[in-house]
Structure 1
Amino acid sequence: MGLPLEEWFAGELTAPMEPVRDGTRPRGLLGRVNGVAVLLVVVDVVALVATASSTAVSAAVAVLLAGVLLGVRASGRIYRRRLQLSWLHDLPRSLATTAIAFAAVSVLLLAAGWPPEVLLQLKVAVVSFTLVGEPARLAVFAFGRWCRRRFDRCDRTIVIGAGKVGVDLAEVMLRHPEYGLRPVGFIDPDPPGDRKFPVALLRDDLATAIDRLGVGTVVIAFSHAVDSPLVDAAVTAHRLGCSTLVVPRMFELHQDGPDVERLRSYPLLRLSTAPTTRPTWWIKRLVERGLALVALVLLAPVIGLCALAVLLESGRPIIFKQVRVGMDDQKFVIYKLRSVRQTGVDDSDVRWSVVGDSRVGPVGAFLRRTSLDELPQLWNILRGDMCIVGPRPERPGFVRQFSAIHELYWARHRVPTGLTGLAQVHGLRGDTSIVDRSRYDNYYIANWSLWLDVKIVLLTVGELCCRRNR
């Protein structure tokens, strides 16, 4: 029989562990660099240089080939973080991305008018690249497994769920450090009392444990029940920048796929990393601030005319300021053109504005219908308070109210708020379902990409022009 739960919580097994021990990967910027991925990039660059020097390809073709090849292989996730360092497992993906890259370069060169003889040079180049690169990749994987075993170069890992599956996973991690995970504790709201655990049961909440123990990976190991605490755990890990691996339901029958890792016989579904930790997120912010600056300049006459109309209809102030909740529950002041007539009492923080509000005059109704009242928020975007695309910001009082009532409403604050969002282009504006808005916002965060932002912007423009929801 295992120890009673009280003794696990009170005993030395739950005593504070050292924040980060030698041999573990810290959670700073350098700690997030994946050594195997870096070595794989180096191998491809060296193979490209060797190919260019040993074949007759010109410098221009070599540069084009390097750019396309590295881009295609990065898109094909050749340089991804992975548990299983297996050259044989990765070989089909490697050969396929190499073939696609060389085919793309061939088409580009022929379309640009290069002579057909260049195809022969590319055939020699692809063979040379493969012969140089693949043996080196084999060596990189072997070196990575050795480093994980010899130097314990493993991610500190928390396992959510101390049932049979969770305990089995932790034991596999301890026996096979070549997979790159080292369990440091379990978190389970209702752990079995008759089982011995290979690592400690933690009394901390997940966010505190991640910070205290320098955790880089969270494994969600409940396989037979999925409820809101598990989703909360995944969102918390996602929000704190941890890698998140989930044991799927019916895992015994689960097939391998692009996002499925293998820890020995267990499939683990790898959730995407937090959008704000990706390099493409900084591209988004840079582009959006540039667009906001250009839009403010170009739309200044429109904003001026709207401001004049507000002044003539209801006087000052023209700009309406209100506190909203942004990323990580940080408050900021949002700016809008005032569309509601002034009254003796400002109830905007506690009153949900709905269609037919008697305080809204003709000018205000026009501004709302055309969304022109939102234009001053371009200044919020330029300042960095908001993005062009993201969940719409809400007032603090309503955030507290909705978070208490609606499941995972709080999780939409993992990214900055936006001028428009996925919920809005699906017709969820004004007095509409908060549950649906929350689901769309969390879907947006989980599936974020630059293309999704572009699609939302295009749908927003179409909705404003056509006056209908898409």
Structure 2
Amino acid sequence: MNGVGSATTSPPVPRRRAARPREASWSDLLRRVNAVAVLLVAVDAVAVAGAVARLRPDWWWAAVVAASLLGARAAGRLYRRRLWLSWLQDLPRSVAATALAFALVTLVGLVADEPARAAQQAVLAFAAAGEPGRLAVFALGRWCRRRFHRCDRAIVVGAGKVGVDLVGAMLAHPEFGLRPVGFVDPEPAVDPAALPVDLLDGDLADEITRLGVGTVVLAFSRTRESSVVDSAITAHRLGCTTLVVPRMYELYQDGPDIERLRSYPLLRLGTAPTTRPAWWVKRGTDVLLAAAALVALSPVIALCALAVLLESGRPVIFRQVRIGMDDQPFVLYKLRSVRMRGEDDSQITWSVVGDRRVGPVGRFLRGTSLDELPQLWNIIRGDMSIVGPRPERPGFVREFSAIHELYWARHRVPTGLTGLAQVHGLRGDTSIVDRSRYDNYYIANWSLWLDVKILLQTVGELLCRRNR
């Protein structure tokens, strides 16, 4: 999707339910700190220290014991946020994590050909001392939620039987840590006067901000499925914990991502990628790789620029307004691959295969993606990332958002030089629906490893010229 000329101004893109993330205040940060999780970490740390002090293994064995126990328990998600504070429910997972730590200590002893008896005894001593502490933490957490109302404000999307039952359970059992403040449902299945909490009139994003909501529960409603997905993305984007009542919930088994509110299973959706610590790793890696690539490839960029200059004159660098994260416009830089002919229509014209304005140099630059190398500067500036949804022009964003559901949702993360849609052949004049679906899949499943896979696939595509 290339054009000609330059553009630095454009009408703002209307936001379609795309609420911008809230600015995090100190009160928000304190509210997000989970006291139960902090206490569980503290109890385990004290239990490890006590077991090591009692059995006195060598210092390096003490380090192996501490790393194995705390690492296995963190990997087993024993320090996660949770609604149901049940020691018995959590006991099998805790025992499994301790058994894994015992196996790791034993394996280290075998590999190092050192006796591991003291370290193994320290693991067993940890279990004996730690479990009563965990029991006390869960009991204290339930008591504090009931006594001091240490509960997260919650909105329920869907004012039907299931939604009413969930709100009733929250009100009757504050030990689950949720305090309902209202329903959001344009077509409530229950008389609003009979609802246990208010039916809110405002937009979900506005109500989340106005009421200081930290959790959104998605129950069944009469509205379209796409509206429920919109609500989930809005809550996700505003940093709320998002819980979903799954279809056929009566058949759901407990699992790592399943919460329990009395008899109802609630599927916990992952947090927004940009709120995770790993996102800072992504940003730092983006800057380092982009800067190194810009320096290393500067001779290539200079040769390409010279070829453009000889074929069609100036300007060599093509500037165009694109839409980035949170619908914010930015100026994207590319090597010009299209001959300039009269008035610039690049903001409203889609360049397709066979465009007569594209000369031999332009075709070569497009075919090898060398025309996109100046976007490394956009990455250093923070306009883009190496991997993410491809940025589009404001006019097309307005058009696609109006006719394609959830196209707007792809702007929850920074746009990218390459992306999941591109490595699956969705470049140029291809399906917008498929692109949007791949982009939203990428955001929902983002991880550093997914970025690495996309980069490897991009290299393979460039070398093999597949999907062209």
Structure 1 and Structure 2 fold alike (TM over 0.5) = yes
Asked if the contact 1:223/1:250 (under 8 Å) is kept, the reply is no
3-state SS of paired residue (2:446): coil
Tell me the CA shift for residue 105 of structure 1: 4.0
Partner residue of 1:63?
63
3-state SS of paired residue (1:117): coil
Any idea what the Cα deviations from partners look like across 1:417-439, whole Å, max 9, x if unmatched?
11111111111111111000111
1:141 equivalent in alignment to 2:134: no
1:427 equivalent in alignment to 2:445: no
Asked if the contact 1:26/1:214 (under 8 Å) is kept, the reply is no
Alignment of 1:210-289 (within 5 A): 210-222=208-220, 227-289=225-287
Partner residue of 1:389?
387
Tell me the CA shift for residue 396 of structure 1: 0.6
Partner residue of 2:21?
none
CA gap 1:295/1:69 in 2 versus in 1, 3 angstroms: farther
> Which residue among 352, 367, 370 is the counterpart of 2:368?
370
> Which residue among 154, 160, 164 is the counterpart of 2:161?
164
Tell me the CA shift for residue 69 of structure 1: 3.1
Asked if the contact 2:400/2:407 (under 8 Å) is kept, the reply is yes
1:179 equivalent in alignment to 2:170: no
Any idea what the Cα deviations from partners look like across 1:388-415, whole Å, max 9, x if unmatched?
1111111110000000010100011111
Tell me the CA shift for residue 31 of structure 1: 1.4
Alignment of 1:15-54 (within 5 A): 28-54=28-54
3-state SS of paired residue (1:309): helix
Asked if the contact 1:320/1:337 (under 8 Å) is kept, the reply is yes
1:80 equivalent in alignment to 2:106: no
The amino acid that maps onto 1:181 is L
Give the whole-Å Cα distance in 2 for the aligned partners of 1:226 and 1:179.
Answer: 29
CA gap 1:48/1:352 in 2 versus in 1, 3 angstroms: same
Partner residue of 1:314?
312
Any idea what the Cα deviations from partners look like across 1:298-353, whole Å, max 9, x if unmatched?
11122122112112211211111111111110111111111111121111110111
Asked if the contact 1:27/1:216 (under 8 Å) is kept, the reply is no
Partner residue of 2:321?
323
Asked if the contact 2:85/2:141 (under 8 Å) is kept, the reply is yes
1:101 equivalent in alignment to 2:101: yes
3-state SS of paired residue (1:244): strand
Any idea what the Cα deviations from partners look like across 1:25-57, whole Å, max 9, x if unmatched?
986112111111111111121122112212232
1:125 equivalent in alignment to 2:122: yes
The amino acid that maps onto 2:302 is G
RMSD: 1.7
> Which residue among 132, 144, 151 is the counterpart of 1:154?
151
Tell me the CA shift for residue 463 of structure 1: 0.9
Give the whole-Å Cα distance in 2 for the aligned partners of 1:116 and 1:226.
Answer: 63
Identity of aligned residues (%): 72
Give the whole-Å Cα distance in 2 for the aligned partners of 1:465 and 1:173.
Answer: 56
CA gap 1:209/1:353 in 2 versus in 1, 3 angstroms: same
Any idea what the Cα deviations from partners look like across 1:40-89, whole Å, max 9, x if unmatched?
11112112211221223222232233334333322221111110011111
Any idea what the Cα deviations from partners look like across 1:228-280, whole Å, max 9, x if unmatched?
11010001001111011111111122222221111000111111111111111
Asked if the contact 2:189/2:222 (under 8 Å) is kept, the reply is no
- When structure 1 is superposed on structure 2, of 255-264 and 171-180 the one drifting more is 255-264
The amino acid that maps onto 2:398 is R
Tell me the CA shift for residue 203 of structure 1: 0.3
- When structure 1 is superposed on structure 2, of 43-52 and 61-70 the one drifting more is 61-70
- When structure 1 is superposed on structure 2, of 283-292 and 161-170 the one drifting more is 283-292
Tell me the CA shift for residue 201 of structure 1: 0.6
Tell me the CA shift for residue 372 of structure 1: 1.0
> Which residue among 326, 339, 343 is the counterpart of 2:337?
339
Give the whole-Å Cα distance in 1 for the aligned partners of 2:298 and 2:456.
Answer: 22
Any idea what the Cα deviations from partners look like across 1:116-162, whole Å, max 9, x if unmatched?
412x2232021011112111111111111111111111110000011
Asked if the contact 1:223/1:249 (under 8 Å) is kept, the reply is no
Give the whole-Å Cα distance in 2 for the aligned partners of 1:250 and 1:116.
Answer: 53
The amino acid that maps onto 1:123 is Q
CA gap 1:405/1:59 in 2 versus in 1, 3 angstroms: same
Asked if the contact 2:159/2:221 (under 8 Å) is kept, the reply is no
Alignment of 1:437-452 (within 5 A): 437-452=435-450
Any idea what the Cα deviations from partners look like across 1:275-300, whole Å, max 9, x if unmatched?
11111111111111111111111111
3-state SS of paired residue (2:28): coil
Give the whole-Å Cα distance in 2 for the aligned partners of 1:80 and 1:368.
Answer: 47
CA gap 1:51/1:142 in 2 versus in 1, 3 angstroms: same
- When structure 1 is superposed on structure 2, of 169-178 and 343-352 the one drifting more is 343-352
Alignment of 1:379-418 (within 5 A): 379-418=377-416
Give the whole-Å Cα distance in 2 for the aligned partners of 1:313 and 1:130.
Answer: 74
1:189 equivalent in alignment to 2:189: no
Tell me the CA shift for residue 453 of structure 1: 0.9
The amino acid that maps onto 1:238 is H
Alignment of 1:296-315 (within 5 A): 296-315=294-313
Asked if the contact 2:185/2:221 (under 8 Å) is kept, the reply is no
CA gap 1:339/1:279 in 2 versus in 1, 3 angstroms: same
The amino acid that maps onto 1:323 is V
3-state SS of paired residue (1:28): helix
Give the whole-Å Cα distance in 2 for the aligned partners of 1:65 and 1:362.
Answer: 64
Tell me the CA shift for residue 108 of structure 1: 4.0
Give the whole-Å Cα distance in 2 for the aligned partners of 1:292 and 1:65.
Answer: 40
Give the whole-Å Cα distance in 2 for the aligned partners of 1:416 and 1:27.
Answer: 27
Partner residue of 1:89?
89
3-state SS of paired residue (1:460): helix
Asked if the contact 1:223/1:247 (under 8 Å) is kept, the reply is no
Larger RCO, structure (CA 8 Å, separation 6 or more):
2
